[in-house]
Amino acid sequence: MHAHSRTLNFILIAAAVALAAFPLAGSTFYTQLITKIMIMAIFAMSLDLLVGYTGLVSFGHAAFFGLAGYALALMVPKYEAASLWWTLPAAMAVCAAFALVTGALVLRTRGIFFIMVTLAFAQMVFFVFHDTKLGGGSDGIYIYNKPHLKLGEATLLDLEKLDHFYYLVLALLVVAFLVLRRMLGSTFGHALVGIKVNEHRMRALGFPAFRYKLAAYVVSGALAGMAGYLAAVQFGFVNPEIISWHQSGAVLMMVILGGMGTLYGPMIGAFAFVLMQELFSNQAWFGAYAKHWQLAMGITIILVALYLPQGLAGLLQKVGRKKEAAAEPDHD
């Protein structure tokens, strides 16, 4: 845990400003792409809370992501626009409830068991939406009208409009980041990291570790739900693929690639991952192999596991430390 250096804060603020200015200059395609990246950043941050801060490696995080999307699709009247006011919190609440129930079971395991069980439960959710009529089966459900935010008669936000949606996502990303950062600097957050470093000692010191882990699991699930809701709005469509373990693997990769245990790392990771995905599937560059982009992705993942365990954020931190050391050679 490092103090939030002024350099870091400066960079983050600059990035936020740049993101806010982007739609004014960028094309529709890129605006949509950045929106997608920001949504993935929220998703990745939610997983970092579990993996990087509490030490819980979940391979089933896509369950919350998809659950929220389906919750929206099922709550929305077919040919009307839903209200953001209550559908977003409701979708998040569904995820929180699911996290509470499954978390109580799943957190009875540790280490490799935990990884396997989270994967299995996510597959269970996949099964429910893929194999039953509840969610339209493998065809999925369309969201014909995107939600809006109304105050009385006035429409504050119409998510059909590209830049309304973009700024909503940006605002939620910033809020999520600030809330998480605050939470991680609190006694609760410190306890989570203590549990990651040495759970046994935490219990010996009087901390009911299970309850802390469950709380983190629920928060993480709800936040992943927020990302899933936004993603469903963006696609206008939900299908079981958003709950697949490839989604869980992708978000885990984003967290590691970006640098786990730092909140900004997952954001970098989401950015890098989505860009790589775009790159590898680009036919202009890779021709016939573009459809096999997952091959390049897989190799990248293997290389990251081998050589970049601290992620891109880790690299940046090393560079930052070297600069500090060079600047103050006589420091104690």
Partner 1 sequence: MTDHDILPPSPLPAEGGDGGPLRSQSEAGPALGRPGGGAILSTVGLTRRFGGLVAVSNVSLDLRVGEVHVVIGPNGAGKTTLTNLLSGDLSPSSGEIRYAGADLAGLPSHRISKMGIGRSYQKTNIFLPFSVFENCRLAAQSRTPHAWRAFSRALGFGDINRQAEAAMEAAGLAHRRDRVAATLSHGEQRQLEIAMCLATQPRVLLLDEPLAGMGPHESQRMVELIQKLGAGHAVMLIEHDMDAVFAVAHKLTVMVNGEVIESGSPEAVRASPAVQLAYLGGEENLHG
Partner 2 sequence: MDFAFFLIQLLNGLQYGLLLFLVASGLTLIFGIMGIINLAHGSFYMVGAYLAWSLAGMTGSLSAAILLGVVLTVLLGVALEWLLIRHFYDRDHLYQVLLTYGLILVFEEMRSVIWGDDVHGVPVPALLAHSIPLTENLSYPVYRLVISGVCLLLALAMYFLIARTRLGMMIRAGSSNRDMVQSLGINIKLIYTLVFALGVALAAFAGMINAPLASVFPNMGGGVLIICFVVVVIGGIGSVKGAMAASLLIGLAETFGQVIEIEVAGFKVLPELSGMIVYVLMAAVLVWRPEGLFRKL
Collect all residues with Cβ–Cβ distance below 8 Å to 184 and sequence separation of at least 6: 1, 49, 53, 192, 193, 263
Which residue in the set 4, 201, 246, 318 belongs to the binding site for partner 1 (CB under 8 A)? 201
3-class SS of residue 242? helix
- Site membership for partner 2, residue 208 (CB under 8 A): no
User: Read out DSSP for 100-129?
Assistant: HHHHHHHTTS-HHHHHHHHHHHHHHHHHHH
Query: Least distance to partner 1 from the beta carbon of 296, Å?
Result: 35
Taking CB under 8 A as the rule, which mask of x and - marks residues 14-53 in contact with partner 2? -------------------------------------x--
Query: Least distance to partner 1 from the beta carbon of 205, Å?
Result: 5
Q: Pick from 225, 231, 266: which is nearest to 35 by CA?
A: 231
296 residue type, one letter: A
Collect all residues with Cβ–Cβ distance below 8 Å to 275 and sequence separation of at least 6: 37
Q: Pick from 11, 142, 169, 207: which is nearest to 84 by CA?
A: 169
- Site membership for partner 1, residue 191 (CB under 8 A): yes
Which residue in the set 40, 72, 263, 301 belongs to the binding site for partner 2 (CB under 8 A)? 301
Query: Least distance to partner 1 from the beta carbon of 105, Å?
Result: 18
- Site membership for partner 2, residue 57 (CB under 8 A): yes
Query: Least distance to partner 2 from the beta carbon of 231, Å?
Result: 21
Cα→Cα distances 66→69, 136, 302, Å: 5, 14, 26
Task: Return the residues of window 61-120 that contact partner 2 according to CB under 8 A.
Answer: 105-106, 108-109, 111-113, 115-117, 119-120
- Site membership for partner 2, residue 304 (CB under 8 A): yes
- Site membership for partner 2, residue 256 (CB under 8 A): yes
Partner that binds at residue 97, options partner 1, partner 2, none, CB closer than 5 to 8 Å by kind: none
- Site membership for partner 2, residue 211 (CB under 8 A): no
Burial class (CB in 10 A: 0-12, 13-18, 19+), 93: middle
Q: How far apart are the first and last CA of the chain?
A: 20
286 residue type, one letter: F
- Site membership for partner 2, residue 292 (CB under 8 A): yes
23 residue type, one letter: P
Cα–Cα distance measured from residue 216 to residue 224, given in angstroms and rounded to the nearest whole number: 12
Which residue in the set 4, 86, 131, 324 belongs to the binding site for partner 2 (CB under 8 A)? 131
Partner that binds at residue 206, options partner 2, partner 1, none, CB closer than 5 to 8 Å by kind: partner 1
Which residue in the set 9, 109, 127, 208 belongs to the binding site for partner 1 (CB under 8 A)? 208
Query: Least distance to partner 1 from the beta carbon of 159, Å?
Result: 29
- Site membership for partner 1, residue 197 (CB under 8 A): yes
- Site membership for partner 2, residue 127 (CB under 8 A): yes
Cα–Cα distance measured from residue 177 to residue 300, given in angstroms and rounded to the nearest whole number: 27
Which residue in the set 190, 246, 291, 318 belongs to the binding site for partner 1 (CB under 8 A)? 190
Q: Whats the size of the chain, residue-wise? A: 332
The footprint of partner 1 (CB under 8 A) covers 1, 182-183, 185-191, 194, 197-198, 200-209
